[in-house]
Structures are given as structure tokens and as C-alpha cells.
Homo-oligomer: A and B are copies of this chain.
Amino acid sequence: MRWEDVRGQTCSIARALAVVGDRWTLLLLREAFGSARRFEQLQRRVGASRAVVAGRLARLVREGVLERRPYQERPTRHEYHLTEKGRALQPVLLSLMAWGDVWLDDGRGRPLDLVHRDCGAVATPQLCCDACDEPLTPDSIRLRPGPALRSLDGPPEPEGYLDGPPDPEG
């Protein structure tokens, strides 16, 4: 199966991965959430080749995750800014960071402190239920067909992860 086909799946994870499921893309977004706006900055901080960075940026612009804004004429040069759609990816990046902080810290502690300005705490991000504010865990959730799958005629697809979370006893 090619990614073009995966993208057509009625699955938000597959669709999201078709847009951002790539290491260099996610590193570019990491920088876009910081202060990097210009091609050379982005390329230097991410460390990929010009061709890789140009390709990934073009796709993110095409997908509406970044927008190009001119900052100079003759020759015209552009900065790359996160759109609202792009800023909505923050939980993906922070979840990756939080996982790396705990599981890949090399024994030296986390590289960065995440400071929550509103309360002043050094925060550990937690994924919570918006209804009751409690943390979501693998055992406390289940997935069932939603509006898009229920509207399909055939059997729901993909099948696998509708079956519920893994049994904690294995």
C-alpha cells in the first residue's frame, strides 16, 4: 500500500501522518513553534539538506499548516508562519517531548523545562478528558465508530483498533 492510499483511509491518525508523519517535518514544526521563520534559520537548526527542507516546507504550506509571508522584495523572500491549523499541532509535539523526557533521557534528566506561564509551574503535559478533566489512559478509553464511519455503507474500516485497548494482563 502506498501512502497516497493510506491517506484516503477513514482514520484521523493515518490522515494526520500523511501530513506530518515524517521526522524532518516534525523537527521543522518544532522550530516553527520557536522563533525560526526564515528558510536559512530553519535549515540550520534542523540540519537537513536544502532540498529536504524545501520539500517539507512546500508540503506544509500546501496543507495549510504553515503560511508564507513576504518580508523582502527584489528578490522576494518569505517567512514561514504557523497557521491556526499548524498551531493546533502543539499537543503532538509536546507529547513527543514528554515521552522523550521520561523514556529517552539518557539518565541526565530532561533537556527542557516546560513552564506553564499561567500557573508558573514546571509542567508535565497530561492528556485529559475535556468533559471531566481526568487523565486519559489506555485502560480508560475505548474507540467506537464516529459520524464519518457510521455514514459509510460498508463495514467500518480500518478494523483493528476498534476492538478496544489491550488487556492489561496481556
Q: Footprint of B on A, CB under 8 Å?
A: 1, 3, 5-6, 10-23, 26-27, 30-36, 41, 45-48, 69, 81-82, 85, 87-106, 108-119, 121, 123-134, 136-149, 151, 158-166, 170
Contact = CB atoms under 8 A, between A and B. Distances in A.
A16 B99 contact: yes
Given A6-B27, A33-B138, A90-B138, 12 more contacts: A3-B23, A6-B47, A12-B97, A12-B99, A12-B110, A13-B27, A15-B104, A22-B22, A34-B162, A95-B127, A117-B141, A119-B132
Chain copies in the assembled complex: 2
Nearest to A163: B35
Given A81-B166, A96-B92, A129 B140 contact: no
A97 B21 CA distance: 12
